[in-house]
Amino acid sequence: MTGGAGYIGSHMTKRLAGLGHRVIVLDNLSTGHRVAARFGELVVVDLCDRAAIAEVFDQNPIDAVLHFAGSSLVGESISEPGKYYRNNVCSTLNLLDVMRESGVQNIVFSSTAAIFGDPQYIPIDEAHPKQPINPYGASKLMVERVLEDYAASYGLNAVSLRYFNACGADPDGELGESHDPETHLIPLILQAASGRRESVSVFGSDYETSDGTCVRDYIHVVDLCHAHELALDRTMDGRLRGFNAVNLGNGDGYSVREVLEVARDVVAKDHLRFRVVDDDRRAGDPATLVADARYAERLLGWRPEYTGLESMIQDAWVWEKKGAGVADSSVG
């Protein structure tokens, strides 16, 4: 597994280890955390180093690859596009070529809804035009095209899973989001509640939505991991061949204001609150991004279990309290 020391990858490592799989984690720890990879066997490797990847494959029996590694900050991709094409495209080519040389035919790829760009219709299905508006989305779309071409020419079996807004944390409280810098709305809100941040900003309140703020489709990290497990199983047993791409989301959207209200209720149980600051729109933020995930159910047999925002935020709040040293005052 690449990127197994990061947010989603670490949750997937724990899930697979719990199912009895041996998981080898390849991560350069540039954004991941060594402790988060503890459920697998960590090998500190940069995917830009093809020889180092080949050494790992030479020394270990590998049946399939889950590819989470990559750079993922939209703003940074605009200011540093070269970094994104190197880390997301060139490194994936290295990985795929080593897989070919080692006879490994199965891969599940962590993609993104950013490949679609500004939505032409909602909800967004797999047939939606793909017109990314930043280098991050463009680099992920390039990887999808590479996977499709490798499948056609070399017999690769690849499933690309396009996330919408990942959120939540391990229900056991052992793993969660630990980004630096943090850019995701829910952890930003919870950091403001725990005292690790002064406030949380609302970027724009004049969108054409029910309350004027952006609407997004949130999906619990546990549900994402379940989708990866199903995709892995179906490539390994031959039910999925060639290249397949799937959108992952709940199919329901929540506005920024709605997320704030649910979060207020969650942190209020610990007698805490947070400050909200209204700010200008950010460039490139579509009003609404919601997935049509029906194809995921047909292809993978996947359906999200966490459909309520409160449970997603509650799990993330347990993790945030742990990291911030906030005592649990919700009892008594």
Catalytic amino acids? 136
Alpha carbon distance, N-terminus to C-terminus of the chain: 43
Hey, what amino acid is at 323?
A: G
DSSP 3-state of 318 = helix
Is 167 within 8 Å of 222 (Cβ atoms)?
A: no
* 290 closest CA partner among 195, 210, 205: 210
Is 107 within 8 Å of 3 (Cβ atoms)?
A: no
CA distance 134 to 283: 11
**Phi/psi of residue 49, each to 5°?**
-100, 90
DSSP 3-state of 255 = strand
Tell whether the torsion through CA atoms of 8, 139, 281 and 307 is positive or negative.
Answer: negative
Q: What is the DSSP string of 157-184?
A: EEEEEEESEEE---TTSS-----SS---
Hey, what amino acid is at 221?
A: V
CA distance 236 to 138: 29
Can you tell me which residue has the tokens 């490798």?
A: 150
**Phi/psi of residue 46, each to 5°?**
-100, 125
CA distance 96 to 91: 9
CA distance 225 to 230: 9
Eight-class DSSP state of 86: I
**Phi/psi of residue 109, each to 5°?**
-110, 135
